A and B are shown apart, each in its own frame.
Chain A
Amino acid sequence: MKIYVPIDSAAKALGAEDVVRALVQAAADSGQAVEIIRTGTRGMIWLEPLVEVETDGVRYGFGPATPEDAAAILDGTSVKALGPVEDLDWMKRQTRLTFARVGVTDPLSLDDYQAHGGLAGLRRALGLTGQEIVDEVKASGLRGRGGAGFPTGIKWQTVHDAQASRKYIVCNADEGDSGTFADRMIMEGDPFTLIEGMTIAGLGVGATKGYVYLRSEYPDAIKVMRRAVDIARGAGVLGADVLGSGRTFDMEIRVGAGAYVCGEETSLLNSLEGKRGVVRAKPPLPALEGFLGRPTVVNNVISLATVPVIFEKGAQHYADFGLGRSRGTVTLQVAGNVARGGLFETAFGISLDEVVNDLGGGSASGRPVKAVQVGGPLGAYMPVSKFDAALGYEELDAEGGLLGHAGLVVFDDTADMLGMARFAMEFCAVESCGKCTPCRIGAVRGVETIDRIAQGDADALPLLTDLCETMKDGSLCALGGFTPLPVMSAVTHFPDEFVRTKEAAE
């Protein structure tokens, strides 16, 4: 009997290892021969640990499983039975392109990877010129999934056109935004797709070396990625002769050191070079003077991990999904106080309401939903009145929001919006790289000003508004520049919570 159990951190955090031990024990007790295969997660985190039992080629789900469920899962009597996993609503409604293999295959089996379409994109790319590769990415409409949404093909073109003896591909795996875990899920669940995407990027722009800058908060992802790179090198996917083509590409995994700002691409490059993670002024663009002063592609994990499927299925196939200028799929991460949280990959254009209330099932607490913070700590709090907003870069921007890395954090009606605004300022103060005054000092003032509002000082609110303007205009990067977004969205949409009488405060 073949049994699949996720090895993803979220599944482990919910007890997957205990479930695996119980399954092994129950199989021994009942004398059944079972093969347990560890996979990534399907992304239905509310069902984790999700055990899948294969019968006649169909995988039947059981979850959320506890060790006590093991025997009944094996003998087919478990009340946690969910039916075929592929038939679950959450799975059926997705368009899984980037995440096609995650939760399905053994993350570290290169055979499994290839049996499910892996390396087909790279093989195709090996027959193309650098310019043809860049053109394909342009035609796909892929935009950076790290936050800014910059067209990936145009970035690659700049690096392609730059003349230099060495160029680099740097993968931004710093994923510091609260409410996001897509990068982690793909690195733990399908690491070869990132390796393949970086290799194609290398072929496209003429880079022979890649780095993944991976945050230290992700020890499991670090282990999987390191192992995957070794395996890929051993199998000739990486190295001096990529798949026997005579072309060179190799890569290393580098670990961050707990600084949120190092997710900003120039800060990341400084960190990779062994410097303080201070943001660099642009220009020069990293595409021209990046790592060690050389032309460098810096792309998010999801951007790069989407490249293989674009080459496997063709740019047009990818571009056919989406809305307006947001082409392809968005890997939504539904998190926080939500009944059904997890990863949901779908064409751009789905509404906030459908994601939160329909797919997500509303709040986990059962209380009314109050707001959703979209796009991480630098993203706006969207009130329920804006839930018609479509999830696309321009569409959300038009509603005063920010898609960012597509994390959605749901809050119920007990959320203290003044407290959340204060936290945004506090976070900015803690994580500021220190280069510009409006961010370094402004964020500290922001915390103090919000404390004054909380104490019923009516003069403080205009000060907060001014301060946010100053931060927005006078900051070099989006940490200082966008912290005003969550703050002012809270003020704008929940004004009552920022008007406090002295008596109420006392």
Chain B
Amino acid sequence: MALPDPVIDEGEIARIVEDHLHLEGPLLPILHALQEAYGCVPAASHGPVATALNITRAELHGVISFYHDFRDAPAGRHVLKICRAEACQSVGGTALAEATLTKLGLDWHGTTANGAVTVEPVYCLGLCACAPAVMLDDRVVGRVDAARMDAVLAEAGA
């Protein structure tokens, strides 16, 4: 289940854009700030952003879609990133990820029915000496086994 679309305040969008226009290469900071505010880069912001930066909406779309981070709809209340990269694989990361997805009845990028957790793949969290690793929102967890994963999921309300 996706969360309801965020309430978009045109004034706030204009302010976010305005706050970054003095930067060299302001677009990524703007997109991050919008996502921070709304949980995604809302469609309603595309027009104002494109106009402010003097680029076409098609170009803007091209940029947004290039990067894995930017969403067009908000994620669940929490985002669980599970590392899929080699060091985590070397200590059972693949099985852990599969078991977690099965348990939640999700595919990658899916959100639990109660809207609590979206599960995303990530390629390395820099925790390769204490793998397998996951990150719940901004909190890192290392040497994750089934029990630790259950604790993380419980904390997230999955």
B31 part of interface (Cβ distance < 8 Å): yes
Q: Mark A94-125, 1 if CB is under 8 A from B, else 0.
A: 00000000000000000000000000000000
User: B128 and A178: CB pair below 8 A?
Assistant: yes
Return chain B residues, CB-CB under 8 Å to A377: 85-86, 123
B25 part of interface (Cβ distance < 8 Å): yes
| Contacts between the two chains (Cβ within 8 Å), count | 159
Least CB distance from B138 to A in Å reads 4
Q: Mark B66-98, 1 if CB is under 8 A from A, else 0.
A: 111110000000000100011111110000000
Closest to B63 in A: A276
Q: Mark A270-314, 1 if CB is under 8 A from B, else 0.
A: 011111111000000000000110000000000000000000000
Return chain A residues, CB-CB under 8 Å to B67: 257-259, 277
Q: Mark B23-39, 1 if CB is under 8 A from A, else 0.
A: 11111110110000000
User: B90 and A181: CB pair below 8 A?
Assistant: no
Closest to A259 in B: B67
Return chain A residues, CB-CB under 8 Å to B124: 175-180, 217
Decide yes or no: A220 and B25 within 8 Å by CB, A181-B126, A415-B90 being known contacts: no
User: B28 and A254: CB pair below 8 A?
Assistant: yes
The interface size bin for chain B is 35 or more
B143 part of interface (Cβ distance < 8 Å): yes
A494 part of interface (Cβ distance < 8 Å): no
Decide yes or no: A178 and B85 within 8 Å by CB, A184-B126, A254-B29, A409-B128 being known contacts: yes
Instruction: Provide the bound-state CA to CA distance between A412 and B91, in Å.
Output: 9
Return chain B residues, CB-CB under 8 Å to A291: 24-25
Least CB distance from B154 to A in Å reads 16
Instruction: Provide the bound-state CA to CA distance between A12 and B2, in Å.
Output: 31
Q: Mark A203-245, 1 if CB is under 8 A from B, else 0.
A: 0000001000000111110000000000000000000000000
> When the two chains form the complex, which single residue of B70, B127, B129 contacts A334, counting CB atoms closer than 8 Å?
B129
User: B66 and A217: CB pair below 8 A?
Assistant: no
Return chain A residues, CB-CB under 8 Å to B141: 13
Instruction: Provide the bound-state CA to CA distance between A10 and B23, in Å.
Output: 33
A90 part of interface (Cβ distance < 8 Å): no
> When the two chains form the complex, which single residue of A180, A275, A430 contacts B63, counting CB atoms closer than 8 Å?
A275
User: A274 and B125: CB pair below 8 A?
Assistant: no
User: A333 and B129: CB pair below 8 A?
Assistant: yes
Decide yes or no: A427 and B142 within 8 Å by CB, A178-B85, A257-B69 being known contacts: no
User: A341 and B123: CB pair below 8 A?
Assistant: no
Instruction: Provide the bound-state CA to CA distance between A183 and B125, in Å.
Output: 12
> When the two chains form the complex, which single residue of A10, A220, A257 contacts B142, counting CB atoms closer than 8 Å?
A10
Least CB distance from A40 to B in Å reads 13
Q: Mark A12-56, 1 if CB is under 8 A from B, else 0.
A: 111000000000000000000000000000000110100000000
A249 part of interface (Cβ distance < 8 Å): no
User: A9 and B129: CB pair below 8 A?
Assistant: no
Decide yes or no: A45 and B86 within 8 Å by CB, A257-B68, A272-B25 being known contacts: no
Which one of A274, A334, A373 has the greatest number of beta carbons of chain B within 10 Å? A274
A156 part of interface (Cβ distance < 8 Å): no
Return chain A residues, CB-CB under 8 Å to B29: 254-255
Return chain B residues, CB-CB under 8 Å to A335: 87, 128-129, 131
A153 part of interface (Cβ distance < 8 Å): no
User: A180 and B126: CB pair below 8 A?
Assistant: yes
Return chain B residues, CB-CB under 8 Å to A326: none
Least CB distance from B4 to A in Å reads 25
B62 part of interface (Cβ distance < 8 Å): yes
User: B126 and A218: CB pair below 8 A?
Assistant: yes
Decide yes or no: A13 and B130 within 8 Å by CB, A258-B68, A274-B63 being known contacts: yes
User: B86 and A13: CB pair below 8 A?
Assistant: no
Return chain B residues, CB-CB under 8 Å to A373: 86
B122 part of interface (Cβ distance < 8 Å): yes
A392 part of interface (Cβ distance < 8 Å): no
User: A176 and B123: CB pair below 8 A?
Assistant: yes
Return chain B residues, CB-CB under 8 Å to A45: 129-130
Instruction: Provide the bound-state CA to CA distance between A431 and B141, in Å.
Output: 25
Decide yes or no: A178 and B66 within 8 Å by CB, A254-B29, A273-B25 being known contacts: no
Which one of B26, B81, B87, B127 has the greatest number of beta carbons of chain A within 10 Å? B87
A350 part of interface (Cβ distance < 8 Å): no
A423 part of interface (Cβ distance < 8 Å): yes
Instruction: Provide the bound-state CA to CA distance between A342 and B127, in Å.
Output: 9
Closest to A216 in B: B69
Which one of B31, B125, B143 has the greatest number of beta carbons of chain A within 10 Å? B125
B53 part of interface (Cβ distance < 8 Å): yes
Return chain B residues, CB-CB under 8 Å to A219: 138
User: B126 and A258: CB pair below 8 A?
Assistant: no
Instruction: Provide the bound-state CA to CA distance between A120 and B32, in Å.
Output: 37
Least CB distance from B90 to A in Å reads 4
Which residue numbers of B lie inside 8 Å of A, CB to CB? Answer: 23-29, 31-32, 53, 62-63, 66-70, 81, 85-91, 122-131, 133, 135, 138-143
Q: A365-B91, A407-B128 provided; 18 other pairs, C-beta below 8 A? A: A175-B124, A178-B85, A178-B86, A216-B32, A255-B32, A256-B28, A257-B32, A257-B67, A257-B68, A257-B70, A258-B68, A273-B27, A277-B67, A334-B129, A343-B129, A373-B86, A377-B86, A420-B86
Cβ contacts A to B, 18 pairs, < 8 Å? A10-B140, A175-B124, A176-B123, A178-B88, A179-B124, A181-B128, A217-B81, A217-B126, A217-B135, A257-B28, A257-B31, A274-B28, A333-B128, A335-B131, A336-B131, A341-B128, A364-B91, A420-B86
